[in-house]
Amino acid sequence: VNVSASPIFSTSGALVGAVLVLRDLTESEEMQRRLLERDEDLRKSLLRLEESVRDTVRTMAKLVEVRDPYTAGHQRRVAELAKAIAEKLELGKETVDAVFMASLTHDIGKIKIPSEILSKPGKLTDIEYMIIKTHPEVGAEILGAVRLPWPLDRIVHQHHERLNGSGYPRGLCGDSIMVEARVLAVADVVEA
């Protein structure tokens, strides 16, 4: 119960009475308890949703692993290295997460590359190399079809761009390349 009291004075200033108000708080406290429970339920649902999104990205990464055994370990190792670089650069949790998830899927566009080219033991011909160079655009197209909390499509699209403009597919240079894509590019080259 919430209690409030107010004195009543006569015009001469003498205390002549009081108003006492008692308010039952049972319903209010019950409402507050239910709101707290709902808040906790929403928090748990959000965590489950976030984990489902991460699982979806991991599943997409595994699609490429099935076709190209080299890519399996490569994408995971690139992801771990890129994450470590992003953390060392203190890029913030959201950016580190984006770098990690993009790294896990950076070669997903290779799903469209013929397996004969992916597993070719010798040097690639110019035409085969041109086909390989399509994988960032294909990857961006695949990832762009899914609503994700990170811009994975843009990061994957730019992961073969180089600061001096010599990369592909668009020949971007300098600050026009996302920092996430720059981190991924370094990790990809080091791991390869």
69-88 and 179-191 helices cross at what angle (nearest 10)? 130
The residue annotated as part of the active site, out of 62, 93, 110, 120, is 110
How far is the C-alpha of 174 from the C-alpha of 117, rounded, in Å?
A: 31
Catalytic site includes residue 110: yes
Count Cβ atoms below 10 Å from residue 164 Cβ, excluding itself. Answer: 9
Burial per residue of 130-162, b for 16 or more beta-carbon CB atoms within 10 angstroms, e otherwise: ebbeebbbbbbebbeeeebebbbbbbbbbbbbb
The closest alpha carbon to 101, from 44, 61, 49, belongs to 61
What is the rounded CA–CA span in Å between residue 153 and residue 80?
Answer: 19
Contact 180, 152 (CB under 8 A): no
Residue 145 three-state SS: coil
User: What CA–CA distance (Å, rounded) separates 66 from 91?
Assistant: 32
Which residues are catalytically annotated?
110
